[in-house]
Structure 1
Amino acid sequence: MAVLKLIFWSSAALLSALLVGLSGTFLYLSPSQPSVEALRSIQLQIPLRIYSRDEKLIAEFGEMRRAPIRFEDIPRDFIEALLAAEDDDFENHHGVDLRGLMRATSQLVQTGQIQSGGSTITMQVAKNFFLTSERSFSRKLNEILLALQIERELSKDEILELYVNKIYLGNRAYGIEAASHVYYGKPIQELTLAQLAMIAGLPKAPSAFNPLANPERSRERRDWILGRMLRLGKIDEARYQQAIAEPVDASYHVAEAELSAPYIAEMARAEMVARYGSAAYTDGFRVYTSITSERQNAANAALHNGLIEYDQRHGYRGPEARLGDVPQEELRKALATLRPLSGVHPAAVTQVGGDSVRILLRDGSERSLSWDSMSWARPYLSASSMGPRPQRPADVVQAGDLIRVRFNDEGQPLFSQVPAAQAALVSISPEDGAIEALVGGFAFGQSKYNRAIQAKRQPGSSFKPFIYSAALDAGYTAASLVNDAPIVHVEESHDRVWRPKNDNNTFLGPIRLREALYKSRNLVSIRLLQSMGVDATLEYLTRFGFNRQDLPRGLSMALGTATLTPMDVTAGWAVFANGGHRVEPYLLTRIESRDGELLYQAAPRRVTPATTEPEATAGVSDSIVAPMAEPAEQVIDERTAFIMTSMLRDVITRGTGRRAMALQRNDLAGKTGTTNESFDSWFSGYNAELVTTVWAGFDQPATLGRNEYGSTVALPIWMSYMGTVLQGRPERLPAEPEGILTLRIDPASGRIAQANTPEAYFEVFKAEDSPPTMQELGVGSRPPGSPLPADDSAPMDLF
């Protein structure tokens, strides 16, 4: 009896001590416990997603792949699989599983360390959201207390929703919806029972049970979970047998971009980081850009095809590697180190025949490469010379060569190579500066350098229209005569003599400004700048948005020796296209929070008032239309812009841009540009809807080769793009502004023509700058070719 009393009182004392200890622990830890209420408004990390204006996914940025899912959208089979694997008593306990805790306590007593946590799903929620992964007694007590508190304040459904969206499931996938896309490439609602059980097995050890890294262990884990579901009565025998018979069919899936625009994506990412810092990657922002998929795809194709065409004109530079006669396994390993670049894929030559070549592709398949696709491959010697034309495949390749191929529309491989030259294309709306399409180079995977906004190059003759615009605003007219003749300029500060010349080293004598522009006469541009004054012209050019530091203070500026990016040039040309207004190029149209709240809406300055009508572009959301904004600043006379457009249309119909007539449109204006030794090739052009600039050249300046100009490299790319995006769209010419006169002009004098003047033509003038008639000059009927009287007051007669 005494022994029983001793045992009773000892047990009571021990229990009291335990209760006191637990109470003390609770009182000690309770003040530092976080508020469970915070879980209701928890912000899970969600990556930044970039979209086009027509809502095509361009890119996703962020360390964690996550797509939160609501509890009601979780398949019931997954919930049962998860509970069978992690916490089969979840529906009944109050946050703590006493049996699991006793097991963990026993392990702690025996080893001095916590081996298994005995954690319920609620305890894992407490740890994942509020605590660290440290294995310590104090952390476990905090976890228990938090779990009890969570169970009091949240429902079981809320706890499960938090858990399935937070857990790490391998391969940067956080949450079950992200894991479903990573391992199976589809939403979790579309998975089979076996696939759901596979994902349910990942929380315990995402690396050990990963179906990609350890398919056998993941199968064992999956089948164990299915067996637990059967024993718990959650599935019947038939479903169990069907599920365990399924193969492990997981494979790695990444979020596929719906639109290839990597340079755009990087520009948007950089702007978001500038706005929000590191939160840009985690707060689930959805960013919509101004580009459309149709125009961006056209830009990609135009630039890639144009560079490949230029590259093949200059011959084959040889294989990327020559491995010789090695086993196919060696070729496979070598191919695995090479990436496709903008549709140009690596391949290995396995056999060379008389009229074809057998190649091994990166995916392990073998194909036949026809001789017809190889016949262009004359050996590259220099930018201006090639070796003899090959007669058979063996003249080009040999077994063991690592080469590149493209695929035509029928899926047949074509012999190719990665272009050595680079290019950039920028297309903007002249109405508000919205970037409609942009490509910064041949392949972002080859070089992340965005030549569209970072490469400052000399624009050559594509800069001349800005000089001519200054002349029109200084009193010259399109009919003004300027002498295209040799000029000698002495630079006293450098003690040297400069003798500029035209590109063909010819001189045409007195020539009208219109003709001088479409024939791109260098000496006329220089004389105009000399007449207006360098400093006054520099001041005028800043109206187009150019940084004065990028403009040289000298007569060479007339030949395009400024250093400008393609974006700079395009923005400047927009002034001509929109009637004389300056617009600022912009990319982001709106930013939304993870909940769809509008955080930012672009309000660019517009040439025409913003409308509440949706833009007439298929697939573009009505909600993207910009709000009312201030009008764009008028920086040059709209009549000057109108006359410049008229003159630049002649460049297309009569001058260096004649190739563009193949587009069969009458609303196009533009100008070629080629710098010394053909280091840079340019074409800028527009109609009232789009302004587009193309640059091509080498990153390290070098000649593009003999007979390569703006009209041969840049213009074909421009034509391919503009021809595609404007196809079927009505022609858009600027409306004639008030104060414009159209007069019949004598081509030899630039004066108003008499009735019997041969070859007279119609010219447009500002009303105040219209030229005098011959009678006003005191001259009667003038025989053709006879000299004009002196007229010192007329700036048009600058010889």
Structure 2
Amino acid sequence: MVVVRRFLRFVFVMAALVGVMSASLVVIGPQVVELVGAHRSDHERISLKPLAERSLIFDSYGNLQGTMTNSADPQNRSQVPLDEIPETVRESVIAQEDASFYEHTGVNVRAILRAVDANLESGDVSQGGSTITQQVIKNSLVGDEESFSRKLREAFLAVELEKQMSKDEILERYLNSVYFGGGAYGVQAAAEYYFHKDAGELDWAEGAMLAALIRAPSEYDPFKNPELALRRRSLVFRRLVETGKLTEEEAAFSEGFPLPTEPNPPLPPYDYFVEEVKQQLLADPRFGLGSTTEARSRAVFEGGIRVYTTYDPQLQAKAIQARQETLPRSDDGATFPVDNPRTGEETFGTQAIASVEPSTGAVRVLVGGPGFDRWQFNLATKSPGRQPGSTMKTFTLATLFEGDGADGVEHVPSDTASGSRCTFRFPGERELYTLSGSSGYTTITRLTQASSNCGFMRLSQVAGIENVALMATRLGIRSTMYDRDADGEPTQPPWNLTLGTKEVTPLDMAAAYSVFANDGLRMEPYLVERIEDRNGRVIYQHRPDPERIVSTQTARLVTEVLAANVTGGTGRNARISSGQPAAGKTGTTNDSTDVWFVGYTPQLATAVWMGAPEGSISLARAGLGGATGGRYPAATWGRYYSLIMEDVPTVEFREPETTRRGRSVGRIPYESGGSGSGRGGRTTTPRRPSGGTTTTTTAPDDGDGDGGGGDGETPDTTAPATTAPATTAAPAQPDFSP
């Protein structure tokens, strides 16, 4: 057997020599010049490109929420310095791949010959002939083409690299670049994938397993081929003993450790919040990741950045829990069946939830749908959104109280208007616009509690539709509040804008309402707190830039009215079990296609939307003929806040200053024939017809469908509850935030 092995070794060496000499003769002339020229050209400028490195997204507590890699070439890599890679890994890899690493100058002919002997003896590829330096060159510069010119170039560059980098630098580069299988590049990612731990914690058995994988990660995969993996690991232990790094006893002891049995792949960004962050990073140059789409893509997927977000997983979990406990006719806590009249097939309804911290603008929760695996379109953030129904009436209140209305009067909650039947003749419209109503002549607060459509149609004309649209935009509604002509150009807001006929997103609504919770200061909603590069240097830090949108008095008056709506109006299902005061408004559109509740406490503002993601489908087709914002979204909102406020001290809203006595809002622009008192038919939110005309529309009061409190009860007609003294104002930061 020894004779045969020596003969085969002789044949191999002679074949190699003949091959080298033959190839040398073939490349005489221009190719030799090319090779030498390439070597000379690389002599002074050889450099290794930075390694692609995964980027990570963290929540507000510092917990990992997602890993971002290039889908075309997903390199799950996290670089670690050599002094953080333990001896167990370094010595195992050196023993297996290049035992003379610290002795040769880049190329080791003796190692090639030893590899032949070892491989013949073992009947396997137990050792390779390339040095670690050559492997670095191959992986980084010349590729793995099987040709003499490539091998010669690899050898040239390996020698040159050893002149330009220290041994430790080369080894560090190798251990961070080599592929270990399972998408893991480098020892850190491999340690996580195979052993669920950091590279610095790996023992001899684990280090030997990683070294065993390098030559053929798929073949020696311990999860798929455990027997081959064990045999391969044993070869590494043998090399460790032969090189004097382990004794026979130590190797035998480590051999007794089992192989890993369960992989730990990186957490993909399959979540509404994380996906939203990723899309913002790719689209927005303000994060400092590059001025072009290509540059930002490289930074996000290969730059190794660390993104720290505002996401609060504890609040998110409670929002989902609240949805699970309150969503009607749901088997999974996330959806309910709905018949789609356009296709005749069954689809589903769900809820979307967005929460914003008023004092900072931090977006804490995004429940974008039933689950990112089922529905990836983020219903909480993506434009154009859905019709908000009567939740839009709050912007009419703000316009009136701020004195930004067409009459220039700073109105107060005790001012009065009629909520009875109304008819309008709008400029440029051929037909009358008529709604039914039953609220009678009463205060703005009580019109809000009853969600009176006629009342708010009158109030919005007093305020001026353009002014209401401007207020919505200033508060943070990013979708257009204007109708468009046949050429797509904006014309004017619809006359019934206050009834919620223009689409909005839940995130925008939560952010807009948060201004009232923050005493009229708008904090731009944001998801990214800071970004660090791969070396820990901060390259982006969110800076708050508060903007005064309405006066403190206006914000507190709006809060007073909306708090009365929760205690004695259509929003009673949103009451919080701990007694924490809340303010909010319900909304329900035509045929209950979209139902809403948007509200806030001093600590948090939240919008809850419910409907069918596939389009405007009546929830009556889900067996929810009585679906209103006050019935379902308000109940979800109330349960959510009861969960998060359970152990949080009560914080009262600040009181507004004393106002003048109430009086009539005065003449109503464009109203035809004065106030009526008749009752109308079924609940509806009129839509502005296309083509620039309106039709005569008959609809009852409470077009958001919440007029009876959403539960068959009439609104409480007692005066709004008084609020606590200003000395119990909201703190700068919520008590439940990280």
Output the TM-score relative to the length of structure 2: 0.74
Q: Distance in 2 between matches of 1:188 and 1:586?
A: 34
Cα gap change, 1:465/1:342 in structure 2, threshold over 3 Å: closer, same or farther?
closer
Choose from 322, 327, 336 the match for 1:302: 322
CA–CA distance in structure 1, aligned partners of residues 85 and 470 of structure 2? 65
Residues 235-314 of structure 1: pairs in structure 2 closer than 5 A: 235-256=246-267, 262-274=271-283, 275=285, 276=289, 277-279=296-298, 280-307=300-327, 310-312=328-330
Is the 8 Å Cα contact of residues 439 and 450 (structure 2) preserved in structure 1? Answer: no
TM-superposed deviation, 1:745 = 7.4
Match of 1:645 among 559, 570, 579: 559
Tell me how far 1:744 sits from its aligned partner.
Answer: 7.5
Instruction: Tell me which residue corresponds to 2:634.
Output: 715
Change (3 A) 1:662 1:382: same
Matched, 1:655 2:569: yes
Q: Identify which of 202, 225, 230 aligns with 1:214.
A: 225
Equivalent pairs, count: 598
How far 1:50 sits from its partner (Å)?
0.7
The aligned counterpart of 2:693 is none
Structure 2's unaligned 5+ residue stretches are: 1-20, 117-126, 290-295, 341-345, 484-492, 667-716, 723-738
Q: For 1:530-679, list aligned pairs within 5 A.
A: 530-547=461-478, 549-551=480-482, 553-606=493-546, 632=547, 634-679=548-593
Q: Contact (CA 8 Å) 1:427, 1:570: kept in 2 or not?
A: yes
Q: Deviations over 1:343-391 (max 9, x none)?
A: 99xxxxxxxxxxxxxxxxxxxxxxxxxxxxxxxx9xx8979xxxxxxxx
Q: Does 1:526 align with 2:457?
A: yes
Q: Which residue of 2 aligns with 1:741?
A: 658
Shift of 1:645: 0.9
Give me the whole-angstrom Cα distance separating, in 2, the residues matched to 1:583 and 1:478: 26
- Please tell me whether residue 464 in structure 1 is matched to residue 393 in structure 2: yes
Give the drift of 1:681: 1.4
Residue matched to 1:446 = 374
Per-residue deviation, 1:217: 2.1
TM-superposed CA distance for 1:523, in Å, is: 0.9
**What CA distance in whole angstroms lies between the structure 1 residues aligned with 2:88 and 2:519?**
64
1:644 shift after superposition: 1.1
Structure 1 residue 95, shift from structure 2 partner: 1.4
- Specify which of 339, 355, 361 is matched with residue 433 of structure 1: 361
Aligned-pair CA distance for 1:480: 1.9
- Are the counterparts in 2 of residues 678 and 709 from structure 1 also a CA contact under 8 Å? yes
Cα distance in 2 between the residues matched to 1:248 and 1:762: 68
Worse-matched range after superposition: 196-205 or 442-451: 196-205
Q: Secondary structure at the match of 1:515?
A: helix
Opposite residue 318 of structure 2, the aligned amino acid is A
Maintained 8 Å contact 1:479/1:763: no
Do structure 1's residue 125 and structure 2's residue 124 form an aligned pair?
no
Cα distance in 2 between the residues matched to 1:500 and 1:205: 75
1:138/1:103 Cα in 2 relative to 1: closer, same or farther (>3 Å)?
farther
**How far is the alpha carbon of 1:97 from its aligned partner?**
1.1
Pick closer, same or farther for the CA change 1:250–1:595 going to 2, 3 Å.
same
Of residues 53, 56, 74, the one that matches 1:46 is: 53
Aligned-pair CA distance for 1:243: 3.5
Q: Match of 2:735?
A: none
Per the alignment, residue 610 of structure 1 pairs with none
Q: 2:129 is aligned with what amino acid?
A: G
- Given that 2:474 and 2:549 are in contact with CA atoms closer than 8 Å, whether structure 1 keeps it comes out as yes
Aligned with 1:732 (options 623, 648, 651):
651
Contact 2:390 2:585 in 1 (8 A): yes
The 3 A distance-change label for structure 1 pair 256 and 311 is: same
Over 3 Å counting, the alpha-carbon distance change for 1:557 and 1:447 in structure 2 is same
Q: Distance in 2 between matches of 1:508 and 1:234?
A: 89
SS of match in other structure, 1:693? strand
Following TM superposition, by how much is the alpha carbon of 1:540 offset from its aligned partner in structure 2, in angstroms?
Answer: 4.1
Secondary structure, aligned partner of 1:670: strand
Q: Which residue of 2 aligns with 1:333?
A: none
Structure 1 residue 592, shift from structure 2 partner: 0.4
Offset at residue 548 of structure 1 (A):
7.2
Match of 2:736 in 1: none
Q: Does 1:702 align with 2:617?
A: yes
Tell me the SS of whatever aligns to 1:639.
Answer: helix
Give the CA RMSD over aligned residues: 3.6
1:301 alignment partner AA: Q
User: Equivalent residue of 1:437, what SS?
Assistant: strand
For residue 651 of structure 1, report the CA deviation from its aligned partner. 0.4
Deviations 1:378-435 (A, max 9, x none): xx8979xxxxxxxxxxxxxxxxxxxxxxxxxxxxxxxxxx992122111112233221
Task: Give the corresponding residue for 2:413.
Answer: 478
Q: Tell whether the 8 Å contact from 1:36 to 1:149 is kept in structure 2 after alignment.
A: no
Cα distance in structure 1, aligned partners of 2:552 and 2:365: 26
8 Å CA contact 2:416, 2:663 repeated in 1: no
Change (3 A) 1:199 1:50: same
Q: Which amino acid aligns with 1:288?
A: Y
Q: Is the 8 A contact 2:578 2:642 kept in 1?
A: no
* Contact 1:660 1:719 (8 Å CA) reproduced: yes
Aligned-partner Cα distance in 1 for 2:307–2:476: 27
> Which aligned pairs between 1:37-436 and structure 2 lie closer than 5 A?
38-39=47-48, 43-62=50-69, 63-100=74-111, 118-256=129-267, 262-274=271-283, 275=285, 276=289, 277-279=296-298, 280-307=300-327, 310-312=328-330, 420-436=348-364
The alpha-carbon deviation at position 743 of structure 1 amounts to: 6.5
Q: Structure 1 residues 231 and 706 mapped into 2: Cα distance closer, same or farther (>3 Å)?
A: same
One-letter code aligned to 2:68: F
For the pair shown, which has the larger CA radius of gyration, 1 or 2?
A: 1
Contact 1:577-1:691 within 8 A present in 2 as well: yes
Identical amino acids, percent of aligned pairs: 31
Q: Where does structure 1 lack aligned partners over 5 or more consecutive residues?
A: 1-13, 106-115, 317-340, 345-376, 384-417, 607-631, 750-758, 765-799
* Superimposed CA distance per residue, residues 556-592 of structure 1 (whole angstroms, 9 cap, x where no aligned partner): 2221112111122122212322222333211111110
The 5-angstrom pairing of residues 734-773 of structure 1 reads 734-736=653-655, 740-742=657-659
Other structure's SS at 2:436 match: coil
**Aligned partners of 2:43 and 2:160 also within 8 Å:** no
Q: Secondary structure at the match of 1:508?
A: strand
Determine helix, strand or coil for the equivalent of 2:631. helix
Match of 2:444 among 513, 530, 533: 513
Higher relative contact order at CA 8 Å, sep ≥6: structure 1 or structure 2?
A: 2
Residues 580, 645 of structure 2: 8 Å contact kept:
no
Which one-letter code corresponds to 1:283 in the other structure? G
> 1:679 touches 1:703 (CA, 8 Å); kept in 2?
yes
1:693 counterpart residue number: 607
CA distance in 2, matches of 1:525, 1:171: 61
